[in-house]
């Protein structure tokens, strides 16, 4: 009897430990450093950039919380309900934002509210052109390796840190496709950082289900990127920061 | 056939030959093991492009440690293996000749345990691996200030430093210590570690370097020596910026203005100065921001808790900003220094500022005052010469005690002085426009004041998210000391008696006032759920005032006018307790609250300081004040806001003081000790919509205020047209404001249209000679304009506005006033040649009031040309012409209570100016499209 019990216990332990590493949710803190972000705007003069960092540097950060649900085949990245300390209880409206990835089917289903409209970006997945570097660091208790990718449309150099021991291709924002889960992002030398604070291993089937009713205009990834590209170019020409209204 | 063609053909054949030999797609497999041949299951194996490390494919080693890439393109690769606790492994793979290629066991080396534990896990520093070099960020290891590199090395894992300073890394002697890859003062490794400060080092690299012998001969003898390389910091982020402007102009105009800022990671230091006679009484917004640096805006600085405290606004105290009102001529001077220190949990700022302004004002004003079925006109010509200055010292400390406790302390001390002399002639014209009285006034005044203010705020965040507590207290004292010298001569043209025809006043007032205020408050916020918060606050305020005035005969200073003198002591205590609920979720923010407040007033009147009490006024008022607010963000970027509050405001001390002010013998004011607080309902509502795709916006806003009790100045005008006013409480009176604005592009990126309009109606009761007069004021304004940017080099703006102001008085209904204003303003900025700009603006304004027979048009044209010189465009030379038509003056038309007035003042008109500006960071050689910041 004892043996059977022990066996059962071992069995449970085995399965829970196994089930533990490939399904769950990652809690991210997404921080925007506005001075750094604004410094990337090409139309600002040296004097303006200098003044900006002189006046606002060090207290220009705004934090948001995001969640990444994942299992072996899929991932979904959404905004969290949690309010930050700076908001002092004031609740800004959350724009529709849900980034769905299916790695077995090789498809994306993104619901993104942008420029006053909700778009559903449905397309096949195209692997970002990652470069793998030789740096190691710890994020949320996991040793991560450094990788880099460039976004020519938003003019961003993105550094990602992916876990060596979490075999998932998932990642925050619209990024994915590294040999391990992405636990940290750094866009343009810290203009925006997305850092995992903790990882909870649990069943997340319900959270991964696609929203039942998808309201919005269906577009392809190329159309979506084209729209962003056009908008950024237009606003830069008008000398208005496009990232006041679109996600950096 | 020439040689090269042969070569080409030969190459081609070799190429196709190779191609034919090597398969197009291959399978690559291998086994990952550690140095003791233990298999490493789960290791990540990546195929990268050798040229840029781009990821091509990846696989995971199975439980036997083996991996396989099937059917991958046959090319040269960089094979990379990573596994927790091991150094990333890299191997170059050449194109394969066979279909299936087994790389066999690949052994990867572990990372020294202490590196992983101490550097990565404890110090949270990234490890950078370059071949067998391990590099990490020395800045992550804390050593006391002033420590040497040796002290730093002692803390680093895997490195041992013995008592005499010899270094061992991973158990082996370190033969060489390099600084930025170079030998530092000879061969002794200790030279660098003992002499360099730890704070100068950013990175420490430990690697096996070639031996000295190998370096010398260039032949690698295979011997490796432990080497440490110390990488120096790119210095602290450090810099300086600033600019200086000097200008000279016609009519003796001149400007000198400059600021200089130095900063590093922790400190900011700024100096600022200006001197001019072109009516810039202070600095502009951006210079002010540069001066105050990271102390320009401070959140959490408000210690006055109340409803809606959740929305803490950043605000800027603009003491030294240019606030010229458009009237007169001023000479200005100001200078200041500011120092900010920000490091980790401490933020300290301090500043000193001195400024002074000398004003010379010539002003003409005609005012019509309506009485029941009659009116009179006052014509006033006055010349004022005044001088004011102030010294101000401020400091602020914000200290985070830990992650949940913060203390803010700020203090301000200001000494200010002013003196002025006013020469004034007033003529009083009766109903039939005959001069009835004339008064010549010659008043001088002298005032010295000091203010001191200290505030401390404590904020605490509880463990429970969203639960906060805050407390604040303020001590403020001020004292003013001044004298008024009043001289006037009045002629009464209607007087029949010779004695009544002329009256002269010569009086000397000595005023000494002191105020001490103590303020305190607490605020508590409790989250009842994720969406509902319960907020409570308490405010206390006690202010004590001593007002002393001694009026003397100006020609005989021993003669005191007791009727015009007083000594008054006033204590006002204010208590308020409030509580409310807040709901906030996904763009919906609602709050409802209720507060109880009480004022306790205690006034004591003495005929003179030190004399027995003549009257004691003691009062208490209570009020219940509700508050409701709703802020809703809808989908589609639409927004709606609604606010209701009951405002209760205690009477101002000046209104309460039973002191007679007779500086103008025809306008005598006195206070009223019986005043009750002003009370009004205030409602506001606004909606707006914004289209982020085009940046088009539209909005409507409105506000309504109804006075339950309002403080108005009742007037009694006697036969000699002497007005006596006294503040009194009256119910009724309302104000309604509604406006709209819209901005939208007509042609994207080139044409934008802005329109706005506003209607304001108000009803104000006053008592004129015991009869209640209702003044109804209706004000309409409309604005429309375009911004046009045809190219990068040309920016134009044009805007027109119209204003109508209709004023009617119930006591004199055939005297309705119509004031009309029209305006047109245009501007052009043109970058017509390289680094050369032309800028011009034209403003046309017209002011009309038919009943006064007033019709004035003011066209103002400004032009300037500027060119940038020197490296980085550091020098700007500008030639400017201001007010080319020489027409500038100030015109203000107002209708207030039972009066309507028309005021004209001279000010600086046409002048030409040549200016030079040197900017350390250089001027922008492009036109700026948006005036705003980003």
Q: Cβ contact (<8 Å) for A137 and B924? A: no
Task: Return the top range by mean pLDDT from B261-270, B288-297, B588-597.
Answer: B588-597
Q: Is A227 helix (H, G, I), strand (E, B) or coil?
A: helix
- Chain A (137-156) residues lying within 8 Å, Cβ to Cβ, of chain B: 137-138, 143, 145-147
Q: Cβ contact (<8 Å) for A93 and B635? A: yes
The pLDDT tens digits for B688-703 are 999 988 889 999 999 9
What is the spatial distance between Cα B207 and Cα B229, in angstroms, rounded to a whole number?
8
Query: Which two three-digit tokens encode residue A130?
Result: 């990652």
Task: Return the top range by mean pLDDT from B178-187, B210-219, B820-829.
Answer: B820-829
At residue B23 the predicted structure's pLDDT band, cuts being 50, 70 and 90, is: confident
- Cβ neighbours of A237 in B, within 8 Å: 749
| Per-position DSSP letters for B380-437, written without gaps between them | EEEEEEEEEEEEEEEEEEEEEEETTEEEEEEEEEEEEEEEEEEEEEEEEE-TTS-EEE
Among A69, A98, A67, A75, residue whose Cα is nearest residue A169: A75
Residue among B310, B342, B748 whose CB faces A90 most closely: B310
- Give Cα B639 to chain centroid, integer Å: 25
A6 has a pLDDT exceeding 70: no
At residue B323 the predicted structure's pLDDT band, cuts being 50, 70 and 90, is: confident
The pLDDT tens digits for B107-136 are 888 887 777 777 777 767 777 877 667 777
Mean pLDDT of chain B: 86
Q: Is residue A5 part of a domain?
A: no
Indicate the range of A133-137, B615-619, B776-780 predicted with least confidence.
Answer: B615-619
Mean pLDDT for B508-527 is 92
**Total number of domains constituting chain A:** 1
Q: Are strands B100-108 and B25-34 parallel, antiparallel or unpaired?
A: parallel
CA distance A30 to chain B (A): 18
Name A125's Cβ contacts closer than 8 Å, sequence gap at least 6: A101, A102, A103, A106, A107, A108, A176, A177
B263 has a pLDDT exceeding 50: yes
- Cβ neighbours of B934 in A, within 8 Å: 38, 41, 44, 52, 241, 244
With 0-12 CB in 10 A as exposed, 13-18 as middle and 19+ as buried, what is B92?
Answer: exposed
- Cβ neighbours of A57 in B, within 8 Å: 294
Indicate the range of A58-72, B493-507, B787-801 predicted with least confidence.
Answer: B493-507
Q: Is residue A4 part of a domain?
A: no
The pLDDT tens digits for B593-610 are 999 999 888 888 888 888
What is the spatial distance between Cα B349 and Cα B316, in angstroms, rounded to a whole number?
14
What is the spatial distance between Cα B732 and Cα B715, in angstroms, rounded to a whole number?
18
CATH number at residue A78: 2.50.20
Task: Return the top range by mean pLDDT from B16-30, B300-314, B389-403, B917-931.
Answer: B389-403
CA distance B524 to chain A (A): 12
Nearest CA in chain B to A41: B934
B781-784: long-range contacts at Cβ-Cβ below 8 A with a sequence spacing of 24 or more?
A: B781/B757, B782/B755, B782/B756, B782/B757, B782/B758, B783/B754, B783/B755, B783/B756, B783/B757, B784/B753, B784/B754, B784/B755, B784/B756
B311 has a pLDDT exceeding 60: no
Nearest CA in chain B to A135: B128
B399 has a pLDDT exceeding 70: yes
Mean pLDDT for B78-83 is 89
Substitution target in B82, B111, B118, B690 with the highest count of A β-carbons within 10 Å is B82
What is the spatial distance between Cα B121 and Cα A139, in angstroms, rounded to a whole number?
9
pLDDT value for A13: 41
C-alpha radius of gyration, chain B, whole number: 39
B540 has a pLDDT exceeding 60: yes
Query: Which two three-digit tokens encode residue B574?
Result: 């204010």
Q: Cβ contact (<8 Å) for A55 and B297? A: yes
Q: Can you state the angle between helices A46-56 and B285-292, rounded to 10 degrees?
A: 50
> In chain B, count of helices (H) and strands (E)?
8, 46
pLDDT value for B8: 57
Q: What number of other Cβ atoms are within 10 A of residue A61's Cβ?
A: 17
At residue A211 the predicted structure's pLDDT band, cuts being 50, 70 and 90, is: confident
Q: What percent of chain A has pLDDT over 90?
A: 46
pLDDT value for B223: 61
Query: Which two three-digit tokens encode residue A178?
Result: 């590294």
B497 has a pLDDT exceeding 90: no
pLDDT value for A19: 45
C-alpha radius of gyration, chain A, whole number: 20
Question: Do B795 and B826 meet the contact criterion of CB atoms below 8 Å apart?
Answer: no
pLDDT value for A18: 44
Task: Return the top range by mean pLDDT from A108-117, B154-163, B667-676, B756-765.
Answer: B756-765
B17 has a pLDDT exceeding 60: no
Q: What number of other Cβ atoms are within 10 A of residue A108's Cβ?
A: 20
CA distances from B455 to B304, B475, B500, B517 (A): 11, 6, 56, 11
Question: Do B234 and B190 meet the contact criterion of CB atoms below 8 Å apart?
Answer: no
Q: Is residue A9 part of a domain?
A: no
- Chain A (47-86) residues lying within 8 Å, Cβ to Cβ, of chain B: 47-48, 50-52, 54-59, 81, 83, 85
Mean pLDDT for B426-430 is 91
Q: Cβ contact (<8 Å) for A164 and B82? A: yes
pLDDT value for B331: 96
- Interface check A116 vs B, CB under 8 A: yes
DSSP annotation of B117 = I
Question: Do A40 and A188 meet the contact criterion of CB atoms below 8 Å apart?
Answer: yes
Is the model more confident about B253 or about B137? B253
Mean pLDDT of chain A: 85
pLDDT value for A16: 42
Name B742's Cβ contacts closer than 8 Å, sequence gap at least 6: B696, B697, B698, B699, B753, B754, B755, B756
CA atoms within 13 A on the CB side of B898: 30
B13 has a pLDDT exceeding 60: no
What is the spatial distance between Cα B97 and Cα B18, in angstroms, rounded to a whole number?
9
Indicate the range of A8-12, B646-650, B858-862 predicted with least confidence.
Answer: A8-12
What is the spatial distance between Cα B692 and Cα A59, in angstroms, rounded to a whole number?
26
The residue whose two tokens read 């091991």 is B86
What is the spatial distance between Cα B96 and Cα B28, in angstroms, rounded to a whole number?
9
Domains of chain B: 3-108 (2.60.40.10), 113-232 (2.170.130.10)
At residue B236 the predicted structure's pLDDT band, cuts being 50, 70 and 90, is: very low
Beta bridge partners of B760: B737, B779
Task: Return the top range by mean pLDDT from A167-171, A201-205, B526-530, B876-880.
Answer: B876-880
- Each residue of B419-434: b (16+ CB within 10 Å) or e? bbebebebbbbbeeee
Q: What percent of chain B has pLDDT over 90?
A: 43
Residue among A56, A117, A240 whose CB faces B695 most closely: A240
Q: Is residue A180 part of a domain?
A: yes
The pLDDT tens digits for B769-811 are 888 999 999 999 999 999 998 888 999 999 999 999 999 988 8
What is the spatial distance between Cα B288 and Cα B318, in angstroms, rounded to a whole number?
8
The pLDDT tens digits for B704-760 are 999 999 998 999 988 888 899 999 999 989 999 999 999 999 988 889 999 999 999
The pLDDT tens digits for B446-494 are 999 999 999 999 999 999 888 989 999 999 999 999 999 989 999 888 8
Q: Structural domain of residue A84, as residue ranges?
A: 23-244
B298 has a pLDDT exceeding 50: yes
- Measured at the CA of B628, the angle between CA B622 and CA B634, to 5 degrees, comes to 170
CA distances from B441 to A11, B337, B444, B505, B511 (A): 104, 42, 10, 9, 20
Mean pLDDT for B79-84 is 89
CA distance A163 to chain B (A): 9
B884 has a pLDDT exceeding 90: yes
- Cβ neighbours of B297 in A, within 8 Å: 55-56
Tell me what percent of chain A is helix, strand and coil, each rounded to the nearest 5. Answer: 25, 40, 35
Query: Which two three-digit tokens encode residue B668?
Result: 């005598």
At residue A10 the predicted structure's pLDDT band, cuts being 50, 70 and 90, is: very low
The pLDDT tens digits for B147-181 are 788 888 887 777 788 877 788 877 778 877 887 77
| Per-position DSSP letters for B365-376, written without gaps between them | EEEEEEETTEEE
Indicate the range of A70-84, A145-159, B287-301 predicted with least confidence.
Answer: B287-301
Question: Do B931 and A41 meet the contact criterion of CB atoms below 8 Å apart?
Answer: no
| Per-position DSSP letters for B42-67, written without gaps between them | T-EEEEE-TTT-BEEEEEE--TTSEE
Q: Is residue A149 part of a domain?
A: yes
Is the model more confident about B635 or about B824? B824
What is the spatial distance between Cα B126 and Cα A200, in angstroms, rounded to a whole number?
24
With 0-12 CB in 10 A as exposed, 13-18 as middle and 19+ as buried, what is B611?
Answer: exposed
Is the model more confident about B255 or about A238? B255
- Cβ neighbours of B923 in A, within 8 Å: 45, 47
Q: What number of other Cβ atoms are within 10 A of residue A248's Cβ?
A: 17
- Interface check A97 vs B, CB under 8 A: no
Mean pLDDT for B362-375 is 89
């Amino acid at each position: 009897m004892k043996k059977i019990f022990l066996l059962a216990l071992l069995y449970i332990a085995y399965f829970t430990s196994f089930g533990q590493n490939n399904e769950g949710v990652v809690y991210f803190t997404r921080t925007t450093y506005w001075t750094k972000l604004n410094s990337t705007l090409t139309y600002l003069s040296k004097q303006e950039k200098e003044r900006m960092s002189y006046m606002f540097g060090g207290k220009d950060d705004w934090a948001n919380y995001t969640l990444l649900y994942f299992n072996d085949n899929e991932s979904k990245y959404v905004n969290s309900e949690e309010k930050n300390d700076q908001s002092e209880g004031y609740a800004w409206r959350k724009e529709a934002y849900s980034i769905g990835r299916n790695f077995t089917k090789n498809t994306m289903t993104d619901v993104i509210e942008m420029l006053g409209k909700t778009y559903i970006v449905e397309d096949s997945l195209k692997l970002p052109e990652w470069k793998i570097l030789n740096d190691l660091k710890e994020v949320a208790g996991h040793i991560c390796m450094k990788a880099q990718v460039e976004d020519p449309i938003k003019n961003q150099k993105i550094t990602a840190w992916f876990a060596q021991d979490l075999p998932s291709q998932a990642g925050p924002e619209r990024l994915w496709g590294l040999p391990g889960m992405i636990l940290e992002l750094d866009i343009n030398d810290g203009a925006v950082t997305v850092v995992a604070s903790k990882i909870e291993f649990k069943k997340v089937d319900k959270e991964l289900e696609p929203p039942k009713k998808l309201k919005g205009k269906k577009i392809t990834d190329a159309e979506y990127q084209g729209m962003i590209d056009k908008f950024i170019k237009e606003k830069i020409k008008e000398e208005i920061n496009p990232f006041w209204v679109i996600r950096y | 056939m020439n040689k090269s063609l042969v070569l080409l053909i030969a190459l081609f054949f070799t190429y196709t030959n190779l191609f034919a030999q090597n398969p197009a797609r291959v399978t690559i497999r291998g086994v990952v093991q550690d140095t003791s041949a233990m298999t490493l299951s789960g290791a990540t194996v990546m195929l990268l492009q050798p040229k840029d490390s781009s990821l091509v494919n990846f696989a995971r080693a199975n439980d036997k440690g083996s991996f396989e890439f099937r059917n991958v393109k046959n090319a040269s690769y960089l094979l990379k293996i990573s596994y927790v606790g091991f150094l990333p492994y890299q191997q170059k793979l050449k194109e394969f000749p066979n279909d299936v290629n087994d790389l066999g066991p690949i052994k990867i080396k572990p990372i020294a345990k202490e590196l992983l534990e101490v550097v990565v896990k404890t110090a949270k520093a990234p490890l950078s691996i370059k071949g067998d070099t391990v590099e990490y960020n020395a800045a992550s290891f804390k050593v006391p200030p002033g420590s040497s590199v040796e002290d730093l090395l002692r803390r680093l894992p895997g490195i041992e430093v013995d008592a005499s300073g010899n270094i061992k890394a991973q158990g082996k002697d370190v033969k060489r210590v390099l600084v930025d890859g170079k030998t530092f003062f000879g061969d002794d490794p200790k030279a660098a570690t003992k002499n360099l400060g730890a704070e100068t080092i950013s990175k420490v690299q430990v690697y096996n370097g070639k031996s000295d012998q190998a370096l010398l001969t260039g032949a690698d003898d295979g011997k490796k020596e432990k080497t440490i390389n110390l990488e120096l910091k790119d210095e602290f982020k450090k810099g300086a910026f600033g600019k200086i402007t000097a200008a000279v102009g016609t009519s003796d105009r001149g400007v000198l203005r400059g600021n200089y800022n130095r900063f590093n990671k922790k400190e900011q230091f700024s100096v600022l100065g200006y001197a001019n006679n072109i009516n810039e009484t202070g600095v502009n917004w951006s210079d002010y921001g540069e001066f105050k640096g990271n102390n320009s805006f401070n959140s959490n600085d408000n210690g006055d808790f109340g409803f809606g405290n959740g929305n803490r606004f950043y605000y800027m105290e603009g003491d030294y900003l240019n606030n010229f009102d458009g009237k007169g001529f001023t000479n200005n001077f100001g200078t200041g220094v500011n120092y900010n220190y920000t490091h980790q949990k401490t933020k300290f700022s301090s500043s000193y500022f001195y400024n002074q302004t000398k004003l010379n004002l010539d002003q003409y004003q005609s005012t019509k005052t309506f009485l029941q079925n009659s009116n009179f006109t006052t014509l006033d010509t006055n010349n004022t010469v005044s001088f004011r200055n102030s010294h101000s010292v401020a400091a602020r400390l914000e200290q985070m005690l830990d992650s949940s406790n913060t203390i803010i302390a700020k203090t301000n001390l200001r000494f200010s002085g002013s003196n002025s002399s006013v020469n004034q002639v007033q003529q009083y014209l009766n109903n039939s426009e005959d001069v009835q009285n004339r008064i010549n006034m010659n008043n001088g005044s002298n005032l010295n004041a000091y203010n001191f203010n200290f505030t401390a705020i404590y904020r605490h965040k509880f463990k429970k998210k969203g639960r906060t507590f805050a407390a604040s207290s303020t001590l403020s004292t001020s004292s003013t000391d001044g004298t008024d010298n009043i001289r006037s001569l009045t002629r009464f043209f209607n007087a029949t008696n010779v004695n009544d025809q002329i009256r002269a006043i010569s009086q000397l007032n000595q005023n000494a006032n002191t105020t001490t205020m103590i303020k305190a408050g607490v605020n508590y916020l409790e989250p009842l759920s994720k969406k509902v918060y319960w907020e409570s606050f308490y405010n206390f305020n006690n202010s004590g005032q001593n007002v002393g005035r001694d009026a003397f005969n100006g020609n005989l200073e021993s003669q005191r006018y007791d009727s015009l003198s007083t000594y008054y002591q006033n204590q006002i205590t204010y208590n308020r307790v409030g509580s409310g609920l807040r709901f906030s979720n996904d763009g919906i923010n609602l709050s409802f609250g209720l507060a109880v407040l009480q004022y306790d007033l205690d006034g004591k009147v003495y005929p003179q300081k030190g004399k027995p009490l003549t009257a004691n006024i003691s009062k208490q008022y209570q009020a219940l004040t509700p508050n409701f607010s709703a802020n809703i963000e809808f989908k589609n970027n639409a927004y709606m806001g609604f606010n209701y509050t009951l405002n209760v405001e205690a009477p101002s001390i000046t209104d309460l003081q039973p002191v007679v002010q007779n500086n103008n013998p025809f306008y005598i004011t006195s206070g009223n000790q019986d005043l009750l607080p002003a009370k009004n309902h205030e409602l506001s509502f606004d909606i707006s919509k914004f289209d982020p795709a085009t940046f088009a916006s539209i909005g409507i806003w409105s506000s309504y205020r109804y006075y339950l009790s309002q403080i108005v100045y009742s007037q009694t005008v006697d036969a000699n047209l002497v007005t006596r006013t006294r503040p009194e409480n009256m119910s009724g009176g309302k104000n309604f404001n509604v406006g709209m604005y819209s901005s939208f592009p007509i042609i994207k990126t080139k044409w934008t249209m802005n329109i706005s309009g506003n209607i304001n109606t108000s009803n104000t009761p006053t008592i004129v000679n015991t009869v209640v007069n209702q003044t109804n004021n209706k004000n309409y304004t409309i604005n429309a304009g375009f911004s046009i940017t045809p190219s990068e080099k040309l920016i134009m703006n044009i805007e027109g506005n119209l204003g109508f102001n209709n004023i009617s008085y119930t006591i004199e209904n055939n005297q309705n006033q119509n004031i009309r204003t029209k305006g047109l303003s245009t501007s052009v900025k043109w970058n017509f040649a390289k680094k050369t700009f032309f800028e011009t603006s034209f403003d046309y304004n017209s002011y009309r009031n038919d009943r006064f027979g007033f019709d004035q048009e003011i066209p103002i044209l400004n032009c300037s040309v500027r060119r940038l010189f020197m490296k980085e465009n550091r020098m700007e030379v500008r030639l400017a012409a201001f007010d080319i038509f020489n027409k500038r003056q100030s015109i203000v038309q107002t209708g207030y209570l039972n009066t309507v007035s028309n005021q004209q003042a001279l000010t600086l008109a046409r002048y030409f100016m040549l200016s030079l500006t040197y900017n350390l960071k250089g001027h922008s050689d492009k036109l700026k499209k948006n005036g705003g910041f980003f």
